[in-house]
Amino acid sequence: MSHVLAAVAWPYANGPRHIGHVSGFGVPSDVFSRYMRMAGHDVLMVSGTDEHGTPIQVQADKEGVSPRELADRYNRVIVEDLHGLGLSYDLFTRTTTGNHYAVVQELFETLHRNGYIVPKVTMGAISPSTGRTLPDRYIEGTCPICGYEHARGDQCDNCGNQLDPIDLVNPRSKINGETPQFVETEHFFLDLPAFAQALGKWLDSREGWRPNVLRFSKNLLDDLQPRAITRDLEWGVPIPLEGWRDRGDKRIYVWFDAVIGYLSASIEWARRSGDPEAWRRWWSADGEGKDARGYYFMGKDNIVFHSVIWPALLLGYDGEGDRAGEPGRLGLLNLPTEVVSSEFLTMEGKKFSSSRQVVIYVRDFLARYDADALRYYIAVAGPESQDTDFTWAEFLRRNNDELVAGWGNLVNRSISMAAKNFGAIPPIDPAGLTEADEALLATARAGFTTVGQLIERHRQKQAIGEAMRVVGEANKYLSEQAPWKLKAESDKPRMGTILHVALQVVSDANTLLTPFLPHSAQRVHELLGGTGVHAPMPSIVQVEDLDGGPAYPVLAGDYTVGAKWESVPVEAGRALATPKPVFRKLDPSIVDEELARLGD
């Protein structure tokens, strides 16, 4: 057994999440975590909503609410969506907690003390008519990179590049249209070049990464520049330095605080578990966590934050950049083992866009279809290693032809036939097993090795393909053995053997599919006469802020229960439940209905 951290990208709390988001990081990280737990590892799966930064402030201004109110609203929406998908977070929290603020400030202070955070005089915008600082979000202009005319002072929403207000062509105040004046102002910068060497050494020692992620990350090292980590903004974590702490107009930049969430959420989980030091088992590089592994899941637009910036913060905290230094009070911390990045999901040939309504929100999807139908689609046809297009026609086909006609049919016909003819799981005939029986059982057992190894190496598409191959073999076996023809009393022992073998393989295939399809796996377990929890589910729990802030909802769960990653012999004589379909067959008319809902 080992300690495995599943660090899942933090969704930004400025709106509901669409299925592109959960295809990239949500479902794959859950499949991985569920499998690793079943295989006996001690998994800590953490994330939360990312709630600071200009976009939330801008949206809140537009709606006339406070940024906290806006964040509260979408934090709840996102928590409910992830819960609906059955994502087994040990803790899904948020960045507006007292705990998160304290951990962010601890990292900031230590990096500053070690000399990796340096003040720099930059050109900041002020309003010429009032003489006051003009926050980034109130400055608009043309993006110097892509030419988009409504880029914001801190970021271009068209090309996604981070900007400084002074970079904008034709900058103007969004308040009154005047041209801002640029004056000298002080901000803090992370000295990224001081980590180039340590990062290069670390990246060279990585094994098993997707080659494009590793190549992309190494290329980033060629051009590391100091990066601003504070902004002219009122919404965010205060700067924990003398003379800065109480300034209302400057805050830590949202990307700096958000990546620290992996650590702060682990600490929050430990504080809530009753053992406040328990997080060290996944993080302490020189102590209990020294053999722990950490896997980070995200979309490809976030690679830089996980393969360069977060490791740089950790190296600086550990005192291992060019300027050395002393580790902070949390001790030496582990760097990521692997950065697992996915590609993008497009929608009927178009890029997801909420403004053009080319979007399917998770909650709308779950209102009309089952969570496992989406989870299945993401696993077999998601953007694991290349950009992938979601189409309703393909969703319908995968659901009806594979999930319903393949797996659902195998479950249904083997359990129905056994229930009808034996009322329970039939015994194996003393005459023994045939070669065909043995071959099918061996195929199913071998699945535990192949499927498990593929999930561990983040090849989930191949992994579910192998699990479904076992299902296909079992369906073929039933057709060939045709137990329904063995109606004579003298044939009944052989019929029982065939059904016993089929039910054993249903049980094994169900275990192999559990990380992918946890909701239906629980139902199949019960149809086979099983009791208790087979696939544990997260719950939404309203908790108090540990440091005196307002209460908030989190996702949490007890995942120590449930099936293990092994073949469990089915017991002859165990009563079977009354069979009912595990999956819903969809009417082909849904394709046109859904296309009509899409804009454009």
Q: How far is the CB of 146 from Zn ion (least distance, A)?
A: 3
> What binding mask, one character per residue, do residues 169-208 give for Zn ion by CB under 5 A, x or -?
----------------------------------------
What one-letter code names the amino acid at 283? W
- Ligand-binding annotation for 414, yes or no, is no
Q: How far is the CB of 251 from Zn ion (least distance, A)?
A: 23
CA–CA separation, 388 and 409 (whole Å): 28
- Residue 143 binding Zn ion, by CB under 5 A: yes
Q: How far is the CB of 181 from Zn ion (least distance, A)?
A: 24
Say how far residue 324 (Cα) sits from the centre of its chain: 33
Residue 248 structure tokens: 């209302």
Among residues 18 and 152, whose Cβ is nearest to Zn ion? 152
- Residue 148 binding Zn ion, by CB under 5 A: yes
User: Which residues on neighbouring strands pair with residue 341, listed in sequence order?
Assistant: 298
Decide: 266 and 46 in contact? Cβ < 8 Å: yes
- Residue 145 binding Zn ion, by CB under 5 A: yes
Q: How far is the CB of 144 from Zn ion (least distance, A)?
A: 8
Decide: 51 and 70 in contact? Cβ < 8 Å: no
Among 146, 169, 439, 568, binds Zn ion (CB under 5 A): 146
Among 36, 39, 156, 292, binds Zn ion (CB under 5 A): 156
Stretch that binds Zn ion, among 153-161, 286-294, 386-394, 430-438 (CB under 5 A): 153-161
Among residues 159 and 324, whose Cβ is nearest to Zn ion? 159
Among residues 159 and 175, whose Cβ is nearest to Zn ion? 159
CA–CA separation, 593 and 378 (whole Å): 21
Reported in sequence order, the residue ranges of 310-430 that DSSP labels E, i.e. its strands, are: 338-342, 345-347, 388-390
CA–CA separation, 526 and 515 (whole Å): 17
> What binding mask, one character per residue, do residues 101-140 give for Zn ion by CB under 5 A, x or -?
----------------------------------------
CA–CA separation, 314 and 95 (whole Å): 19
CA angle (532, 534, 538) in 5-degree steps = 100
- Ligand-binding annotation for 146, yes or no, is yes
Reported in sequence order, the residue ranges of 435-569 that DSSP labels E, i.e. its strands, are: 539-543, 552-556
What one-letter code names the amino acid at 480? E
- Residue 157 binding Zn ion, by CB under 5 A: no
Q: How far is the CB of 147 from Zn ion (least distance, A)?
A: 7
Among residues 166 and 537, whose Cβ is nearest to Zn ion? 166
Decide: 512 and 451 in contact? Cβ < 8 Å: yes
Q: How far is the CB of 302 from Zn ion (least distance, A)?
A: 18
| DSSP single-letter state for residue 227 | E
Among residues 145 and 441, whose Cβ is nearest to Zn ion? 145
Reported in sequence order, the residue ranges of 527-599 that DSSP labels E, i.e. its strands, are: 539-543, 552-556
CA–CA separation, 232 and 185 (whole Å): 10
- Ligand-binding annotation for 507, yes or no, is no
Other residues' Cβ atoms within 10 Å of the Cβ of residue 306: 23
Say how far residue 547 (Cα) sits from the centre of its chain: 27
CA–CA separation, 251 and 236 (whole Å): 5
Stretch that binds Zn ion, among 1-9, 147-155, 205-213, 442-450 (CB under 5 A): 147-155
Q: How far is the CB of 168 from Zn ion (least distance, A)?
A: 10
Stretch that binds Zn ion, among 130-138, 158-166, 453-461, 506-514 (CB under 5 A): 158-166
Other residues' Cβ atoms within 10 Å of the Cβ of residue 224: 18
- Residue 168 binding Zn ion, by CB under 5 A: no
How long is the chain? 600
Number of residues that bind Zn ion (CB under 5 A): 7
Strand 139-142 with 151-152, pairing: antiparallel
User: Which residues on neighbouring strands pair with residue 50, listed in sequence order?
Assistant: 12
Among residues 161 and 337, whose Cβ is nearest to Zn ion? 161
Q: How far is the CB of 159 from Zn ion (least distance, A)?
A: 3
Stretch that binds Zn ion, among 22-30, 100-108, 152-160, 458-466 (CB under 5 A): 152-160
Among 118, 123, 159, 575, binds Zn ion (CB under 5 A): 159
Q: How far is the CB of 24 from Zn ion (least distance, A)?
A: 22
Q: Given the structure tokens 């299925």, which residue do they identify?
A: 19
Q: Which residues are annotated as a binding site for ATP?
A: 354
Chain residues in the site for Zn ion (CB under 5 A): 143, 145-146, 148, 156, 158-159
Q: Which residues are annotated as a binding site?
A: 143, 146, 156, 159, 354
Q: Which residues are annotated as a binding site for Zn(2+)?
A: 143, 146, 156, 159
